[in-house]
Amino acid sequence: MTSRILRAAAMAGCLSIGLPHLSDPGALLSRLSPVVSGFSQTSGSGAGRTPQATRAPRNAAEFDELFQQVKNWGRWGKDDQLGSVNLITVAKRKQALALAKTGETVSLAHNPITERAEDNNNPFEHTMLRGNNMDRYAVSYHGYAHSHIDALCHILYKDQTYNGYARADVNTDKGCTKLGIQNLKNGIVTRGVLIDIPRLRGVPYLEPGTAIYVEDLEAWEKKSGVTIAAGDAVLLRTGRWARRETLGPWNVGQSAAGLHASVAPWIKARGVALLGSDAAEDVTPSMVEGVALPIHTLMITGLGVNLLDNQDLEALGEAAARLNRWEFMLTINPVPVTGGTGFPINAIAMF
């Protein structure tokens, strides 16, 4: 019997960001409101944009205000374990099934990288065992190399997880007592929507450090004819893997195109259930002084949105462009490790 053992450093990827409490919670909200409305749409040239230096949140204090504004704690009950996956209803699944018209499938997984590189500090290990007809896998998958899904216990803010659970009650050396990846055991079937910003801008890939704002997302909606709706899984292509193929690996953890934190209210208003990217969703550097991964923290800890990191969206982008179809059925089926902070995945889009 074939034996395959997947050893994942479950707790090693956990992140906690502690920020001060603000005494005037209303002061920032009036400054945040332009973040989610009133932008002129652009093709990426910068015309009509709010200058980056004036985009809230700009610092830890403004980030805290935004976090408190958008968080979904208690929305689905004090004992909720699913977060925004609750938005994927039976009707939503049926809508997704109807999108599988041709039966063409596309994998979103990048083949495991077994060599150390600037963007891969923890190479995937594949060891053949006796007789060379059995093997062993080992991977520490959190980071910027391996395609995986983050569970809702992966990121903490002020020593709390999504839904306000205390670190001491959840994150243990035996695994997560709540919000572990086993909560997705029944799998996810929903409408996937690809947002392809390089195609929007007419370039093969975005340069590292390029921030993506609400007006970019809405410009893509207009171009593609697809409006993000409640229960959708949104996949953001920056062209990270295309750039890597052309120019070689670089330190994605220090410099990557991605979403600016100001998009969080828009994502909540649209009802996004899952969010993925070909890197780690966040623009890096984050442009929020004192906060390293604001999108990760706002999505996982605040909204309860599972993240799909390091998805390879090149083949998906080619298929969607060829078919001129930017929506599809998406299936995600992580192995239900009890207490796991995530799992490597091979998500499948079907057109």
> What is the per-residue pLDDT across 91-147, written as a single tens digit (0 to 9) for each?
999 999 999 999 999 999 999 999 999 999 999 999 999 999 999 999 999 999 999
| Token digits of residue 330 | 């998406």
Residue 83, pLDDT above cutoff 80 = yes
Residue 4, pLDDT above cutoff 70 = no
**In Å, how far from its chain's centre is CA 224?**
21
**Residues 66-84: what's their mean pLDDT?**
98
Looking only at the bridges linking them, the beta strands covering 274-277 and 233-237 are parallel
Does pTM top 0.75 for this prediction? Answer: yes
139 with 122: CB under 8 angstroms?
A: yes
- Kindly list the structural domains of the chain, giving each domain's residue range(s) and its CATH number in brackets, ordered by start: 59-111+147-350 (3.50.30.50)
State the angle between helix axes of 60-70 and 25-36 in degrees (0 to 180), rounded to the nearest 10.
80
**Residues 30-45: what's their mean pLDDT?**
35
pLDDT of residue 47: 36
Residue 22, pLDDT above cutoff 90 = no
pLDDT tens digits, one per residue of 305-340: 999 999 999 999 999 999 999 999 999 999 999 999
Between CA 199 and CA 178 the distance in angstroms is: 40
Work out the pLDDT band at 52, boundaries 50, 70, 90: low
- Contacts of 20-27 spanning 24+ positions with Cβ under 8 A: 20/60, 20/61, 20/64, 21/64, 22/61, 22/64, 22/65, 25/65, 25/68, 27/65
Residue 43, pLDDT above cutoff 80 = no
* Mean model confidence pLDDT for the chain: 88
What is the sign, positive or negative, of the torsion defined by CA atoms of 277, 341, 96, 323? positive
pLDDT tens digits, one per residue of 178-232: 999 999 999 999 999 999 999 999 999 999 999 999 999 999 999 999 999 999 9
What is the sign, positive or negative, of the torsion defined by CA atoms of 53, 279, 277, 14? negative
Backbone angles phi, psi at 58, to 5 degrees: -105, -15
Work out the pLDDT band at 53, boundaries 50, 70, 90: low
